[in-house]
Each structure stands twice: as structure tokens, then as C-alpha cells.
Structure 1
Amino acid sequence: MTDHPTAQRAPAGSPTPDPTAGAIHGPTDVTGTGVGTSTAPVFTPSAVVASCVGFMLIGALQAFYGPAIPGLREEFGLSPSVAGLGLSAHFVGGVAGVLLFDRLYGRTGNRRILAASYLLMAVGSAGFAVAPNWPLALTAALLAGFGFGGIDYGLNQLFAVGFGHRSTAMLNVLNAHFGIGAILGPVLIAVVGAEHYPVVFLVFALANLPLLFCLRGVRDSPPRSPQPPGSPAPTGASTPADRALRSVLAVFVALYVLHVGIEAGVGGWEPTHLETVGHGAGVAATATSVYWLMMTVGRFLVAPIALRFSAQTIITVSCAGMTGCLLLAAVPDLAPFAYAGVGLFIAPIFPTGLPWLHRAAPHARRAGAVVIAASMMGGVAAGPALGKVIEWSGVRAVPLLLAAVSAVCLAATLWLTRATRPKPAR
């Protein structure tokens, strides 16, 4: 099954196909009305590179807060739980940033939205570095989170609709750079020392500024999502089609919340589980690092695969493989390797699902913002929720609990595949 059926021969007298098809262009007629939209590239090559650097930065920013906790505790005299509120403030700001910038998408130029996001990240990070007290530091983390959410939403949205049939591949490349940043962030804190975290945040703030000059390579008007042939325009009335669309969106949200919960659950509980079943602390730490590394590698590996196979097929295989690996992780000797497999299989789900969502719900403009915000909330809620379940089930049950959640993700994917399958023409 592929995303891209063989093109049919044009009838005699029809216009010659655009020889630039496949370039980094938005679609020329995505509404089905025959009214063409701008064929200007959504991204120039330099803007694509800058966007990948931007995703490395937001990956690093998210990863800074945890390793900086010892320095924060020493600087402000905090308990571990209070010091951990820095990351919570970041995520709250991220969700708010996604929802706020979604309101501006289409009303304000893409360049202005992205520029404001980079500036908010820079100002918030600098403020976090120099804050004289903890309440101001939390406010700065919230501000940086706003910018984080704007970049996360803005670039994911534009990549999802701006590359035609290559959007799935490009989204996987983009999000792989997030993983690179998330791997490098803790390394930077470790090199300079947690007590010198302000230096890292200040350098991060300055690193955002050159990206502002690359925004000239981003098309200012947003491309529209591709619309499947024959899909009806929204009428405002509640129809069976509207109710079906709401069901599809609800299941997409569930898929995103649950799979990000698995991602965060493995990252948070893998070391504890591995030590509980008999592996040393060094093995547990290394295996957890490999898990995050495999997530990054998996997104690069799936980019060429996404040019041949549909999003439905990729996500179905990913959920099935993730479930199988989590079941294998219940075997102590196989657990470190199985968790690496989980990282490999879970990697494509987030970026691959967005183009599928845009194709399935072309009129639901806010769908992308809802699932991205939901994914952030899934990451926040996963820790406490899984912790409560583990209190009565025990740490050894972690992979089995996550495998059950993964099985729900697989069921949701199969349902979405059936629900979004194009209706045959009569």
C-alpha cells in the first residue's frame, strides 16, 4: 500500500503537467475548486536547514531542565520536586503556545509567528538564566515554553502541508533533529556542570537569533491542507459526516496522547525497571540513552520509507512492533535490547501521523494544534498516571502495562485506517 498512486495520463488538450512537481512547493490547487494558490516554495533549502536547526534547539531546551536541577536547587534552595517545576512550567507554556499560535495561523504571516516564537524562546531562556529568584525563573520558563510551542506547532504544521507527497518524509527528518537536540542538551549541561546552567541557557538564547534571518526563506502565506476529491465543504450543520469527522479527530487525539505517554513512560521508568530485574545501574543508564538514540535514528530511517508506503501502513507496523518489543521487555535478559526496539518503532508515529491527519480532516484547521497540544499533555500526565498504577502492580509490570497501552494504540490505528479509507467512486 502506498501513499502515491500512479498518476493517470492527462486527456488530450489538457495543460502540460508542471515540470517542477515534487519541488518544495505548496499545492497549486488544494481546494478542489479549480482556483490555484501560490506556487511559491513554502521553504527555500536554506530555510529547511534553519528549521531543522530550530528543532534541534527546542529539543535541547526541553532536555536542559532535568540535568540543571542540582544547580537550581543550589541556587535557590529548592527541594527536588519544586526544582522539577521548571520543566512543568515549560510544558504549560508549550501547550499555551501551541493553542495561541494556532489562533494566529492564517491571520498573521508565517514569518511573524515563527519570529515571535524564536524571540520568546530567547527572552525566556535568558530570563531563566539571570532570574534573581525562583518565581521569576518559573515565569521565564513559561515564556520560553510559549516560544517552544510556537516553533513546535508552526514548523510541524508547515512541513505537514508544504511538501506535497514528501511531507511525511520531511516531517520525520525535522523531528529527528529534535531528538538530536534532546541528546545533546544533557551533554552540554554535563560538560559545563549543573552549577553553571545559566551559561548554557544564555548561549541557547543567543543561538536563536541567527535563525530570524533565515525566515525570509519561509513563504509568508500558509499553504492549505490538501483536500481529497469529492470531500464536501463544511456547512456548519451537524451531519453524519461531521459526527464521523469528530470521531476521527477524537481517535487521533487518543493515539497521540497514548503513544507520547508510552514514550515518556519508557524514558522515565526504563532505568528503574532494568535495575529491578537485575541489571546494573551503568547498563540501565546506557540502555536508556540507547532508547532515545534509537528514536532519533528511527526517524531518519523512515524518511525514505515514507516515500513508498502510506502513513497508515507505517504507523500500523510501528504500533505492532512497539507492542511486541514491550512484551519482550518483560523478559529480563532481553529487556535492554527490547527497549531499544521500542525506541525504533515509536519514532515515526508522531511525525507520520500529522500528514495523515491533514488528509483525513482537511477542513478541521485546528486539528493539528489539538493533537500536538494533546501530545504534550500526554507527556506531562504519563509520569504521575503510570506511577499510581505501578504502586499496586510493582515495577516489574512496567513493560506489560505499557504493552497494554500500545495495544490500544494499534487498535486505534486500525480503526483510523478503516475510517479514513477513501470511499470508492460511484
Structure 2
Amino acid sequence: MKADIRPTPASSSKRNYILQLLTVFVGFLIFGFSENIKGPAIPRIQSDFRLDEMQLGTLLSLNSLGYLLACTFTALLIRKIGIKAVSLLAFGSMAVSGVFIFLSHSYPALSSSFFLMYIGNGMLEIGLAVLGARIFVKNTGTMMNLSHFFYGLSSTVAPLISSGLMTVTIFGHLLDWRGVYLIILMLSVLPMIPAFLGKFPGDATLTEDRIPLSSISRDPVIWLLVAVLSFGVISELAVGGWLVNFLEKAYGWRSASAAGMLSAFFLCFTLARLILGPVTDKIGFALSLILFSAFSGLCTFAAILLGESGAVLFAIAGVGIAPVYPTIMALIADRYRQGSDTAITFIVTLMGVASVLGNYFIGAITEGIKQLFSSGAEEGAGLLRGLQAGYGFIGLCALLCSAFAYLLYRNLQKKGELL
């Protein structure tokens, strides 16, 4: 008599959970690479296309519209075709965008290619957040921070890899920033494997069991979460786009040194998500947001005021801003358990609007102050003041994140709903 070698329900469930974790963890790993190879690439893109700071900020803002567009329709797609299909579509579009970026030799072509990449990023952002909210039902803060740790891990090495690969020659051709984007974005194929093999929870939830958007939008807490996340994410994501540019132009740092400081920021960022997750579960989500974001803002302003000798504080600021996003996602997962996809889409979409405006304001502030203080021989001083003002806006956003987190804390405290 043959032994029954069919998998038991328990082993099948464990295998599927591992595939879910791989999709989330590897997905965030690739997400971090795609978001943060741009640091060392942006000065080269700016040079190749002869863009000033205002045009650069506009480019980043316009391309972020792809991310924003994806946020508006991803929840509907999840309900129609499921997280599995949405995840595969997101990873696939990112891989294709890498090919288009490699082939881009004009400003409109580059903008269109980045637009497609940001659509993939936006779909991935919502998909991974919704999947995390559904599968992390215990120790939510810890697990959310752990999943976003992988984003920080790839973000740490992405600037160094990007800077190094741009100097590599293959078959007599320099990779440059186009080749780097091609190689890194093609890695999006890897997380498609566990996404294809796994089964994803929650897609069968009945419509009548979900919290409707109308109810969520009337909750004052959701608007406070929008404000906290918006200012926090502007402060977080802007570092990847502007820190290398700041260090190279304000202090004359070499590309490798500037990229190294960006990697140091993401190292602090990554370790904070690995270590501080249990802290958020212990002291509470809202209080964590107040303390961590305030620390980040103060570090950023101290770094600017101290000048080149205080540049390391730019990296240390990553400790404070790192837990903001996953802590907000954990709070949403706990508070809106039956409507996490709707709540996440609502918040992240509005956050996307803020992100678009944030990059635009940084570019506008930098260029405006630069022009204000530039006069003949003092053009260099004008550029320095402009860069300091633009980067100061990043620190201001972290402090505003803390201020709105305090309002969130008071609101939840009055209702007896502190998490």
C-alpha cells in the first residue's frame, strides 16, 4: 500500500504563507532599488538634458503623476482581478519601463518612461500595503516595519550600486545611468515568481462586509493620517532625489562620496525599521510618530546649520523618518481591518498629490532662493543658499509630520482609541 504523500492543509498553508512573505519582502526589496538608484543618476540626467533645478523638480513631479494615477485605480483593480494579478502587472510594467528608459534619448521619451515606471511603483505600493494589512494580523507594527526593512535594505545599497555601475564598460559601451536603470528594473521579474505561485487572501470578501469610502472619508482620523503620511513621505522620498545633488553642488563632494552619504542615510533608515518595529507596538503607533518624525526634522535642520561638518546628521535623520510609513500602515490595518484596501488607497492617493507638490516646491524654492541671492561673482553663494532652503523644506515637512501626529494622538486619546 502506497503512502499518502499529499501535502496536509497545515503544510500547504505554511508554504503559501512563505510565498506571500516572499512576494512582500522581495517586492519591497525591488521597490527600494527602483526608487533610489535615481540619487546618483539625477545629476547625470540633469547634465545630459541641460535642466536647471526648477526643471528637475518639475520632471520629478510630473513623473510622480504616474504614481498618483496608479493609486487611484489600483484598489478597484484589486477588487476586480485580485492582488495576485495586480502584483504581476506592477512588476511587469516596471521591467518594461527599464527597457524604455534605456532607449530614451529625448526629454519627452525619458518623461514617458519614468511615468510608466511610477505607474508600476504606485500599483506595487498599494498592492504590497493591502497584502501586508491582510496577512499581518499579529504584531502588526513589528511585521509592517520588518517588511519595509527590505525597502530600506535595497535603498541602502542602491546609490552605491548605481554610482558604481555607471562607470562600468561592457563590450566597449559605458553603462551610464540608462544601463543602470535597465539592469535594476529587470530584477522586477524575480518577485513575479512567488507572486505567480502563491494564493492571496481577502479577495473574496463580500462588498457588503467592506467599510465604504463614504464612511472612511467622514472619519477625522483618516484626514489626520493623510497629513501625517504626506509630510512624512515627502521628507523620506525627497532625500533619495535631492541629497546627492545637495552634497555635490553645495560642498563639492565627489559622486561616490555623496552616494555613500545617501547609502548611510538608508543604512540608518533600514536599521531603524528593523529595530524600532517592536518599539512602535510597545509605546503605541501615534506616540511613535510624534517622537520619530520630530527627531528626523531636528537632525535635518542641525545638519544644514552646521554645514559640511554636520553632514552626517543628514544620514542620522533616516532613523526618525523610517518608521513613519510602516507605522501608518499598521495603524490602518488595525483600525480599518474590514476596509484596509479602501483606506490605504484613499490615504496613499492623497499622499501622492502631496508628493508631486513636494518635489515641485523643493525645486521651486531652490531655484527661487538661488536667483534671489545670485549676483555676478556671488553666484556660487546663491546656489548654496538655494540648496539649503530647498533641503530645509524637507526638514520642515518632518516637523509638520510630528505636529499632525500630535493632533492625531490627541484625537485618538479623547475617543479612547489609542493604538
Asked whether the two chains share a fold, i.e. TM above 0.5, the reply is: yes
Equivalent-residue separation in structure 1 for 2:187 and 2:267 (angstroms):
23
Q: Which of 293, 303, 306 is residue 332 of structure 1 equivalent to?
A: 306
Equivalent-residue separation in structure 1 for 2:66 and 2:147 (angstroms):
22
Runs (5+) with no aligned partner, structure 2? 1-9, 168-173, 374-384
1:416 equivalent in alignment to 2:408:
yes
Q: Which residue of 2 is the match for residue 154 of structure 1? A: 127
Given that 1:47 and 1:218 are in contact with CA atoms closer than 8 Å, whether structure 2 keeps it comes out as: yes
Question: Structure 1 residues 189, 108: closer, same or farther in 2, change over 3 A?
Answer: same
Question: Structure 1 residues 267, 118: closer, same or farther in 2, change over 3 A?
Answer: closer
The within-5 A match list for 1:25-424 is: 44-68=17-41, 78-80=49-51, 87-88=60-61, 90-131=63-104, 135-193=108-166, 195-196=174-175, 197-215=177-195, 216-222=197-203, 245=219, 247-265=220-238, 281=253, 286-329=260-303, 331-332=305-306, 335-362=310-337, 363=339, 365-389=341-365, 391=369, 394=385, 404-421=396-413, 423=415
Equivalent-residue separation in structure 2 for 1:404 and 1:63 (angstroms):
22
Offset of residue 403 of structure 1: 5.1
Cα distance per residue 1:246-278 (max 9 Å; x no partner): x2222211112212222345556656877999x
Partner of 2:80: helix, strand, or coil?
coil
2:198 partner amino acid: G
Cα distance per residue 1:45-95 (max 9 Å; x no partner): 243134222212122122334534576679xx6323578877556422222
Q: How many residues align?
A: 376
Q: Give the fraction of aligned pairs with identical amino acids, expressed as a percent.
A: 20
Question: Structure 1 residues 42, 315: closer, same or farther in 2, change over 3 A?
Answer: farther
TM score, norm. by length of structure 2: 0.74
Equivalent-residue separation in structure 1 for 2:402 and 2:390 (angstroms):
18
Given that 1:118 and 1:151 are in contact with CA atoms closer than 8 Å, whether structure 2 keeps it comes out as: yes
Question: Structure 1 residues 327, 352: closer, same or farther in 2, change over 3 A?
Answer: same
Given that 2:29 and 2:150 are in contact with CA atoms closer than 8 Å, whether structure 1 keeps it comes out as: yes
Equivalent-residue separation in structure 2 for 1:364 and 1:41 (angstroms):
24
Q: Which residue of 1 is the match for residue 378 of structure 2? A: none
Cα distance per residue 1:331-390 (max 9 Å; x no partner): 517733433332101110011111213434454742212322333443433243245456
More helix by share: 2
1:384 partner amino acid: Y
Cα distance per residue 1:168-226 (max 9 Å; x no partner): 2222122222223233333333333264144434433542223222122242533879x
- Relative contact order, higher structure (CA 8 A, sep 6+): 2
Equivalent-residue separation in structure 2 for 1:44 and 1:213 (angstroms):
14
Equivalent-residue separation in structure 2 for 1:380 and 1:400 (angstroms):
17
Deviates more, 1:264-273 or 1:95-104: 264-273
Q: Which residue of 2 is the match for residue 13 of structure 1? A: none
2:287 partner amino acid: T
Question: RMSD between aligned alpha carbons?
Answer: 4.1
Question: Structure 1 residues 381, 88: closer, same or farther in 2, change over 3 A?
Answer: closer
1:281 partner amino acid: W
Equivalent-residue separation in structure 1 for 2:45 and 2:115 (angstroms):
16
Partner of 1:108: helix, strand, or coil?
helix
Equivalent-residue separation in structure 2 for 1:202 and 1:330 (angstroms):
35
Given that 1:158 and 1:223 are in contact with CA atoms closer than 8 Å, whether structure 2 keeps it comes out as: no
Given that 1:62 and 1:87 are in contact with CA atoms closer than 8 Å, whether structure 2 keeps it comes out as: no
1:407 partner amino acid: L
Equivalent-residue separation in structure 1 for 2:217 and 2:165 (angstroms):
54
Runs (5+) with no aligned partner, structure 1? 1-22, 24-38, 226-231
Given that 2:39 and 2:259 are in contact with CA atoms closer than 8 Å, whether structure 1 keeps it comes out as: no
Q: Which residue of 1 is the match for residue 170 of structure 2? A: none
Offset of residue 155 of structure 1: 0.5
Offset of residue 109 of structure 1: 1.7
Given that 2:300 and 2:314 are in contact with CA atoms closer than 8 Å, whether structure 1 keeps it comes out as: yes
Given that 2:39 and 2:243 are in contact with CA atoms closer than 8 Å, whether structure 1 keeps it comes out as: no
Given that 2:140 and 2:330 are in contact with CA atoms closer than 8 Å, whether structure 1 keeps it comes out as: yes
Equivalent-residue separation in structure 2 for 1:85 and 1:66 (angstroms):
16
